[in-house]
Structure 1
Amino acid sequence: MSEARGGLEAGVAQDADPAPDPDRREPPGPVRRAWRVPLVALLAAGVVGAATWVVFFSPLLGVDRVEISGNDEIPDEVIRRAAGVAVGEPLAKVDVDVVRARIAALPPIEWAGVERGWPGTLRIRVRERTPIAVAVVGGRTALVDRYGVVVSLRDNAPPGLPRLVVPRLSPDDPTARAALAVIHGMPQRLARRVEQVQAASATSVTLSLADGRTVTWGDADHGDLKARVLLSLLQRPGKTFDVSSPDVAVVR
């Protein structure tokens, strides 16, 4: 009887739940996960917000220097004023396309490039227009580039540039463009002998040389060939030269 009771008590003891271990940690349940997710999202949003503020609104990454290169005639300050970018303005908010357009609108500027240089530098590169001829505009001497743009106005014509005589001086005028293309394409050996380039139309460009001789050039096509033929013909006597058709050039 005692043996049976002992066996029954042993069986009950084996079937009973073990006592809880106070050092054992329960895995996180749904309640803990429920508040952890929004906390992580809140922290991430805070980081993004802080980064956005630093880049777009804080003076920490603001413009502290404007570098200008490529200009010889136009002063740095004129380009800075045209750019319209204030010191301290967030570099990321500077619209480089708008700044480029402002600078390119300056008459002496042929081309402009603008880029950011982190953390606080705005880099501006320009190419100035090069005058290749002079023309009379409003009683003053206009320095004109190869596109027909008036670079500047002077009281007196600088030496070394031919006079341009056309019915209408404008970048979109075919006659002016043809005459300027002839001037721009001339080799230096010929250009320094030319005093005036006149055109009544895009196909009737005429050169007046410093020694009094005249050249019928025609249109702006085949400029290299016409120049070579003319330089050869200028070694002969004659007052007028026609290289409008360089294969059958005429000397009179």
Structure 2
Amino acid sequence: MASTRKPTYRPGTEPRPGASRPGSGSDRVISAQRSIEPEGDSVAAPPPGATGASATGKSAASTASSDNVIVFPEPKRRRQRRLVMWTLSIVAAVVTALIAGAVFSPALAVRTITVDGTTLLTPEAVQKALSGLEGKPLPQVGEQEINELLKPLVQVRSATMEARPPSELLVHVNERVPVALLKQGDSYVMVDVDGVQLGATKDQSAVALPLIDAGAGATNTELFKAIAAVLDTLPADVRAKMSTASAASPDAVELKLVDGKTVVWGNAEDRELKAKALEALLKMPADPKVKVSVYDVSVPRHPFTK
């Protein structure tokens, strides 16, 4: 800010008698005043208590001061973060609307129920049990509900589902596997490893399953459980060659083949290994010079025939 010093002259005071004159002895004292010129439109702030024109000057000064405030731009990172948040909010709202529309849309209602995996049951029996799902939107159908509806069908162990929009429901049925027959009166009842009755037949030869000896008693006994566990371990083609299964105790299970030969199984330990050993013995070519009547796999690492 430019400033000027304007020398002014004013009468000096006479020195007291006896006082020496300063400087060169001139009777005038030269003093200087500093005068500051305002820049542009700046107006000096009025003294306290000023009114009228002074207030106007104060307002003008305030306006000029506010015009000189520097406004810094918003940081780029913050602006980008705010934009991302707005975008995510919009996308979430759109996705929520689409999901709600799909869940409750009648366009995705179940109209066709397809069933696979059935052997003991017919697909029509399963479809009838699930008929209550028709008209329900596919996204609202769950596997828990399907398994609840199929509980009356004892042949079904479990089921899974596959939705095929817009209107098809595919149900994969996992049936129980019959492992033996039980004699009940004039009929033969198929049972699985848990003793669940899966069907009945009058003709034993119509079903390629071994008959559990009546000496094993009811399906909840230890003997039945031991025999059923052995039969459940056998491959299906080996189990089909069995005629009967019995046990003097849970540690002494024996099987009879349809050709009259005996399988000494023993206890329930190493069932998988014993099953593989028996399968290997049955696949051995027959030697006409050596007659085999017993396959012993009670020690599966050292099976033998006699």
Shorter-chain TM-score range: 0.5 to 0.7
Structure 2 match to 1:35: none
Structure 1 position 111 matched with structure 2 position 165: no
Note the alpha carbon deviations across 1:14-50, whole angstroms, 9 max, x for none: xxxxxxxxxxxxxxxxxxxxxxxxxxxxxx9999679
Shift of 1:198: 0.6
Is residue 97–residue 114 contact of structure 1 (8 Å, CA) maintained in 2? Answer: no
- Choose which of 151, 160, 180 in structure 1 pairs with 2:208: 160
Greater RCO (Cα-Cα under 8 Å, separation 6 or more) = 1
For structure 1, which segment, 229-238 or 145-154, has the greater mean C-alpha deviation from structure 2 after superposition? 229-238
Partner of 1:91: 138
> Measured at CA, do residues 60 and 167 of structure 1 come closer, stay the same or move farther in structure 2, by a change above 3 Å?
same
Residue in structure 2 matched with residue 199 of structure 1 by the alignment? 247
* Amino acid in the other structure paired with 2:135: G
Q: 1:151 to 1:45 in 2, by over 3 A?
A: same
Determine the structure 2 residue equivalent to 1:225: 277
- Matched with 1:169 is 219
Contact 1:229 1:243 in 2 (8 A): no
In 2, Cα distance between equivalents of 1:72 and 1:141? 18
Aligned-pair distance for 1:206? 1.0
The percentage of aligned residue pairs carrying the same residue is 27
**Separation (CA, whole Å) in 2 of partners of 1:208 and 1:197:** 6
User: Within 1, Cα distance between the matches of 2:234 and 2:129?
Assistant: 34
3-state SS of 1:85 partner: helix
**1:192, 1:68 → 2: CA distance?**
27
Instruction: After TM superposition, give the deviation of residue 213 of structure 1 in Å.
Output: 4.2
Gaps of 5+ in 2: 1-91
Shift of 1:78: 1.6
Q: Deviation at 1:113?
A: 0.6
**1:136 is matched with which residue?**
183
CA–CA distance in structure 1, aligned partners of residues 254 and 226 of structure 2: 11
Conserved? CA contact 2:146–2:159, under 8 Å: no
Amino acid at match of 2:217: P
TM-score by length of 2: 0.53
**Shift of residue 239, structure 1, vs aligned partner:** 5.5
Structure 1: state its 5+ residue gaps: 1-43
Equivalent position of 1:244 in the other structure: 298
User: For 1:192 and 1:90, how far apart are their aligned partners in 2?
Assistant: 44
Q: Secondary structure at the match of 1:81?
A: helix
Instruction: Give secondary structure in 1 for the equivalent of 2:223.
Output: helix
Distance 1:134 1:57, change over 3 A: same
Change (3 A) 1:198 1:58: same
Aligned to 1:4: none
Structure 1 residues 198, 80: closer, same or farther in 2, change over 3 A? same
Q: TM-score, normalised by structure 1?
A: 0.63
Match of 1:181 among 197, 221, 229: 229
Q: Which moved more, 1:199-208 or 1:236-245?
A: 236-245
SS of equivalent residue, structure 1 residue 245: coil
Count of equivalent residues: 205
- C-alpha deviation, 1:104, in angstroms: 5.6
* Whole-angstrom CA distance in 2 between matches of 1:48 and 1:232: 65
Deviations 1:190-232 (A, max 9, x none): 5455311112433110122334443432124231225545776
Instruction: Report 1:8-27 matches (<5 A).
Output: none
